[in-house]
Amino acid sequence: MKKIIPFVLLFAFASCFETPERNCADFKTGKFKFEHEIDGVKKSTTFIRSENQEIDFYEGKSDTSSIRWINDCEYIIQKINPKSMAEKKAVSIKILSTTRDSYMFEFNVVGSDEKQTGTVTKLED
């Protein structure tokens, strides 16, 4: 009986935490918006994603990247026509949680341990 009580307490404590919703497949394709801040100025990137490609629109310019899905919630993105050494590096993206029309993600340059996070809003299917 003494061994069962700690197990029951552990189960009760663990059940207090909710697992974040992750309906990642809902965000594999569509039109999206990502807002971020650079030097105190709010910037916005719009992008259209298909199963294997993404076209980004930022400050009047467009750029195309290839996408390789690892699973429903993780993918690697790489510019098709990089203009610099920095743009040649692939970026790993992992969707952490989803809502009906947005997802929170973390990303890093492949090979780097430094990760950043952001939120993307889905505009259209």
Q: Tens digit of pLDDT for each residue in 12-59?
A: 455 555 666 788 999 999 999 998 888 889 989 999 999 999 999 999
Angstrom distance (rounded) from CA 66 to CA 9? 48
Three-state SS for 117? strand
Whether the pLDDT of residue 98 is over 70: the answer is: yes
Whole-number pLDDT of residue 3: 52
The CB density around residue 114, as the number of other CB atoms within 10 Å, is 6
Whether the pLDDT of residue 8 is over 50: the answer is: no
Angstrom distance (rounded) from CA 80 to CA 20? 33
Of the chain, the percentage scoring pLDDT greater than 70 comes to 84
Three-state SS for 15? coil
Angstrom distance (rounded) from CA 90 to CA 20? 27
- For residue 73, what pLDDT band results from cuts at 50, 70 and 90? very high
Whether the pLDDT of residue 64 is over 90: the answer is: yes
Helix or strand (DSSP H, E) at 101: none
pTM of the model as a whole: 0.79
For domain 21-124, the CATH class is mainly beta
